[in-house]
Structure formats: structure tokens, C-alpha cells
Amino acid sequence: MPGAKEKAQAEAAAESPPGDRVLSSGEALQAAQANARKPAGEARREAFTLDVRAPDEIRDYLNLHLELQRYRQLQDLDGQELSRLLGAAEANTRDLLGTLGYFAPRISVDLRETPADARAPREVAIAVDPGERTRIAQVDIGFAGNIADNPAAAVQRRDVTTGWGLRSGQPFTQDAWDSAKTAGLRRITARRYPTASVASSSADVDADTSQARLAVTYDSGPPYRFGPVQVKGAERYPPEVAQRLSLLPVGAEYDQAALLTAQQRLAASGYYDSVFLTLDTDAGTPQAAPVIAQVRDAKLQKIVFGVGASTDSGPRLSVDHIHNQLPLIGWRAVSKVSIDQKTKLISSEQTSLPDDNLWRWVTSERLQRELTGSYEVNSGRLRGGRAKSTDHIDRGYYLQYDYATTTNGDADAPPSGSAISTPWNWTGRYFDNPTAPSRGYGVAVEAGPGMTLIGDRAPFLRSYARGLAFLPLDKLQADGSPARSGRLQFRAEAGMVNVKDSATVPATLLFLTGGDSTVRGYSYRQIGARTVDGQIYAGKYLAAGSVEWQRPIVWNGEMTEFESALFIDAGAVADQPGDLKAKVGVGAGVRWRSPVGPLQADVAYGVDPKKFRLHLRLGFTF
């Protein structure tokens, strides 16, 4: 069905008598600009005023789109030319009404002389009775090409039909019809078929019955698979950087979301100031279509200054130094200095490029002074090993050396300790959104044997696990806003260090809890094992959990970007499993879906200390 504006212009041109000329839009604009440049003291009457008499929604639409509006500023518009414009106005009005679904309107166009009107010497009145609005009677969606009979594309076919935007009984408009076709095409091009197109479409409108029968056929074209990544624009870093960090496996089915994720991953890698990935569909190799990576290299070195604050540790200052290509080895190094009220930290981590199996070498060094329970602890760590990151899973295994010493200790303070261990870790993230999830789950596991090196040397086994899950509840709907679900959030963590009592494990390998992201209502890392005089220190066993009810906030009938939250947290740390006694916090809070990530503000009551605490947190990490 041709667009209403194009149809109106074609009919107006066909009805113009030979030798007559209607001003083009460019000529009309030039004339209007010339009129606007006249001296302020000179009268600036319009050629005519336009009065559209129609229901409010239709009147506003016609006032915005009628072709007559272009000619109102032409002071030298004579009567003959205006009559010719009025002849085309009815057809233009009828076409515009057709885009809104009114195909049997009654329209009258009248011209009245108004010499006494200071605004214009003439008035054009267009009266519209739109009649009955056309509604959808039938929708036929067809498929051609590979998608039509490919069993693997059954979900895509179903998504197009179930997600179709125009249903039987709904009003027909040209915009809604175009939007529905485009949305269906996007569902097809998002996966396997980047060259899909609308093969044919028709809107059969019966003006007598005010019904429309719609039909569209999508041609998928051939299915595509990712080929090799071809890097363009790289000058400082070798192409292997983008090729390996993109994590786009050659031979995988084309997926627009995977391409976007790879682009974001490269942009966040620190190697590039800008990245743009596209699939080369003109290469003529659908089963191995090249991925073009257009990049602009970042500087070799960068220093980043940071300022922050949290209710856990107060104000924070940090300086990061990034070297993207260390001399001789070519690894990337990120070094950091951070200072807040509880922690002073100096650290550095070096990583190689991933190999063909996505594994990379990692080394790191760390010196730290931290308030650990009631004691100041100086600690250090050296680590070396291998790590692998994919879309949802991170894993690694290392050889690690730790030491820790208490600086303000009394007779009961934990003694200094050091150890060597071989930790292994695995983290899986399966959330619907990596920065602001509303459903899904995440699981992290760490485990590894070790040997204490100071005092009584003894083997030990350290293990730790945590999980986070979102369970959607009923949906809330507000007028004119998409529905959003409330949810329950479950969080749990547990850890233990199996070692004989006479051995000394460094405090940095033991456990504490409490604070913004663990047990609210308590200070940061102030739930731990206790000495005989009540001093807090890191213990060998940890158990903690939380249940939180999150619900979108509707205000004045409109959905907002805020959510309410009610929660209960509990956690315990001890040196023996039988000594674990839960510390409980309860409270309420508000969540704001800010442009930089979720911001949460909570007020929690610590049942044990019988005090309220404010907890603020920005962003989501797991």
C-alpha cells in the first residue's frame, strides 16, 4: 500500500492542468524566509489562515501534516493559485486520514474572504467527519527462504507470529502497520538471517465494512555463520588482540546479540578507544562470513584517578595505571593504589592475550592494610596461574602465596601466618541483564588445598561458595507503560577452612561478613569469631543468607524507575561449626534504575546491636 503522502503528491501533480505550476516546497520555504526578513514595521499578514474542524486527535495531526501549511506565509499568493491548492487539499486530507485508519471520511473545504482580519485576507476551513475507524480483521504472516522449513528456526517463526504488533480487532494505522512489519523483520535479522527482507506486503482495506486484511511475507535469505575476525584501523596492537578478545567462535550461527556483546567486550578491554563490529554479508560466503572489526587504538599507557564513597568504608581515593603492552612479554598490566577509611591497597595484575582456547596466563601482586574485625592486619599475596573468561563463565587455577600479620594485637590477637595454596575457582552468571538483572541466577565456587608455613606446618583445604537468584513474581501494569515484574531475591554464601587447631592460617584466607552487600544492619566485616574479651577476628566457618522482596513503584498511575524493597539478612562466622550463631538484620529500602546502574539505599536494623544503619550501594556485580 503506498504511503499516504506520496499518493497525495502524485494525485495533485496528475490533476494540475498543463501550463499551471504549484510552488515546490523549496520555493515556498524561500518565499517564507524572504517574508520573515521584512522590516519589523512592515505588516506581515499571512496569505490565509487555516481552520481545521475535526476531533482533537485528528485536528492536531492534520494541522501538523497538511500540505497547505507550507503556503500560508506566501503574501503574493493569488486567488487562482490558492484555488488550485484547495483542489488538492481534499485529496491530501483524505490520504492523511487513511494513515490513521479512516477510509470513508466526509470532507468539505471552504474559502472565505476576511479583509478585516489582521492576520490574513482569507480563511480556509476544512471540516472533517472521519467516519468509522478501520480495524484489523485478519493477519496472514508467511515465510520464504531457508527459515520457512528449517527446524532450527521454528522458535524464530513463532517469535514473529506471537510477537506481532497488530491483532484482530485493533485499529489500523499506517504507522502501526509499518512498525509491525519492521518489528517482525528485526526478530528474523537478529539471528541466523542478517539479510532477511520483506518479500511482499499488502493491506486490503474495505471502506464499506471498515475492515483491513493484512498480509506480509518475509524472505529470510540464507543462514549465516561467523567467519574470521578481520581487524581494520589497528596500528599499535596486533590483530590477534581483537581476534582473541572478541570471543566470536568461527562457525557459530550469526547472532546479533553475540556481535554486540563482542563489541562491548572489546570496547571494555582497554585496548581500543572505539570499536565497531559488522558482519560482511557481501563477501559471498554465508557459512563463513567475515566479521569486520573497525577499531581505533587506545594509548599504550593510561592513568585513571578515582574518587568514591560508600557506607562500608567511607570516602575513597584511587589511582590506576594501565600499560597495554609490557616490554618484552607484551602482557597487559593494571596497577592500582586505593585508600579509604578501612583499607589501604597497592596491587598489580598482569595478563597475557588469550590463546586459541581462550586461556590466558595471569600473575598478580598485592600489599594491603585492612581493618579485619577488631584488628589491623597487614597482608601480602603473590599469585600466578591461568584463567579463562567466556560469555557466562569465568574460571581459573593458580599457585598462591599469602601472609598476614596483626599490627595492633593483644594477647588474644590472631598470630601471624603464611601459607601456600593452589586455589581453583569457577563463576557462572545467567542473568537477563548483566548490569541490572531482574531474573536469572549466578553461582561461584572456590576450592583448593594448601600448606601453612609458620608455626605448626599443616595441610588445609579452603572452600567457599555463593549464589544469587531472582524469582519473578506477578507483573505490575500502569497506563501507557510496559509491565514490570516484582521479584524475590535470594542470596547465600558459605565457606570453611579445614585445618587442625594448632595450625595458623593467614587471616586473608579466613572469613568475616557484614556490610552493604552481605548482612545489612552491621558494620563492614564486623561479624566474625570472638575472643574471650569480645574482640572480633576472622573465623574458619561462614554461613550467610538473605531474602529480599523487590517491587516496582507506581506513582500517580505511572510506572517509575524506582522500586521498593523489604529484606531480612542473616550471617554467622565462627572457628567451630557448633559456634555459628546468626546475626540478623531487617529493613527496607529503595532502588533506582539510574543511567549508570542500579542505586540502592537501605535502612537496616541490626537485631544484635539494636541499632539502625544506612547502607548505600551503586551498581551490580556478581
| 85-113 residue pLDDT tens | 888 888 899 889 888 888 888 889 988 88
Does position 8 have pLDDT exceeding 90, yes or no?
no
Contact 343, 369 (CB under 8 A): yes
Read off the pLDDT of each residue in 528-540 and give the average, rounded to a whole number. Answer: 92
Cα distance between residue 519 and residue 512, in whole Å? 11
Question: What one-character DSSP code corresponds to residue 236?
Answer: S
Q: Note the pLDDT tens digit of each residue in 493-531.
A: 999 999 999 999 999 999 999 999 999 999 999 999 998
Q: pLDDT value at position 614? A: 95
Per-residue confidence band for 444, with pLDDT thresholds at 50, 70 and 90: very high
- Going by C-alpha positions, the residue among 350, 299, 345 that lies closest to residue 318 is 345
Q: For 4, what's the count of Cα atoms within 13 Å in the CB-facing half-sphere?
A: 24
Give the pLDDT of residue 299: 93
Instruction: Render pLDDT for 315-349 as a digit per residue (tens, 0 to 9).
Output: 999 999 999 999 999 999 999 999 999 999 999 99
- At residue 115, the pLDDT reads 85
First to last CA, the chain: 51
Q: How far apart are CA 481 and CA 557, in angstroms?
A: 10
pLDDT of residue 409: 65
Determine which of 73-77, 285-289, 414-418 has the lowest per-residue pLDDT on average: 73-77
Distance CA 255, CA 225 (A): 9
Q: Assess contact for 622 and 529: CB atoms under 8 A.
A: no
Average pLDDT, whole number, for the chain?
88
Please state, as a whole number, how many other Cβ atoms lie within 10 Å of the Cβ of residue 470. Answer: 20
Predicted confidence band at 480 (pLDDT cuts at 50, 70, 90)?
Answer: low
**pLDDT above 90: residue 118:** no
Higher pLDDT, 54 or 511: 511
Q: Distance (Å, rounded) from C-alpha 38 to C-alpha 51?
A: 26
Alpha-helical (H) ranges within 37-104 are 56-65, 79-99
Whether the predicted pLDDT of 36 surpasses 50:
no
Please report the DSSP string for 178-207 in residue order: HHHHHHHHHHHHTBT-TT-EEEEEEEEEET
Length of the chain: 622
* Res. 490 pLDDT band, cuts 50 70 90: very high
pTM summary value: 0.72
Domains, the chain: 4-129 (3.10.20.310), 135-219 (3.10.20.310), 226-297 (3.10.20.310), 354-359+390-618 (2.40.160.50)
| Predicted confidence (pLDDT) at residue 41 exceeds the cutoff of 50 | no
DSSP conformation class of 306: E
pLDDT score, position 411: 67
Q: What is the pLDDT of residue 465?
A: 98
Tens digits of residue pLDDT in 182-238: 999 999 999 999 999 999 999 998 888 888 999 999 999 999 999 999 999 999 898
pLDDT at 26: 43
In 10 A of CB 475, how many CB atoms?
A: 11
Full DSSP string of 238-287: -HHHHHHHT---TTPBPBHHHHHHHHHHHHHTSSEEEEEEEE-TTSS-GG
Higher pLDDT: 400 or 172? It is: 400
Averaged pLDDT, 267-283: 93
**pLDDT given for residue 31 in this prediction:** 43
Three-state DSSP class for 90? helix
